[in-house]
Amino acid sequence: MKFYHVFIIGLILLSATFISRSNAAGDSKLLWVAVTVFDGRNNKSFPEYYGQINQKSVDTLTTKTQEFQMFKLENIFWVNDEGETEKLSDSKKHGRLRGYTDTAYFRSDQIYRIVFLDEDYVTKLLNNVK
């Protein structure tokens, strides 16, 4: 009887590992985008963040958006008031780091637009990194 329980638990763990690996493989294609969102700090302008989003998230965002649904944006940067690009992980506000990584999650129901970018454009923008 013990062997049966151990066998079932092993099958469940093996299945979970296989499913997570297959999902990760499907999410691996990252697309460069410019995303304009309402992030709570907007007065009269809406910030535009540049980053990478996986294809599966793009498919979900363009077919059905649900309230409080989140999406992940990786390798985030933006253009500051001086015209320089600033990475999330390097940015500071009042002397403190804003982000420790270049990844953030945004609510999908607060997106105003998504613009797909090509590698050349992103490379030109990143040459102005602060």
- Residue 58 sits at the vertex; the CA angle it makes with 57 and 63, to the nearest 5 degrees, is 100
- How many CB atoms are located within 10 Å of the residue 68 CB? 8
Q: Which residues pair with 51 in a beta bridge?
A: 33
Residues of the chain with pLDDT under 50: 6, 10-11, 18-23, 25
pLDDT at 116: 93
User: What domains can you pick out in the chain, each with its CATH number?
Assistant: 29-126 (2.30.30.100)
Q: How far apart are CA 126 and CA 8, in angstroms?
A: 51
pLDDT at 83: 82
| Predicted model pTM | 0.68
3-state DSSP assignment of residue 3:
helix
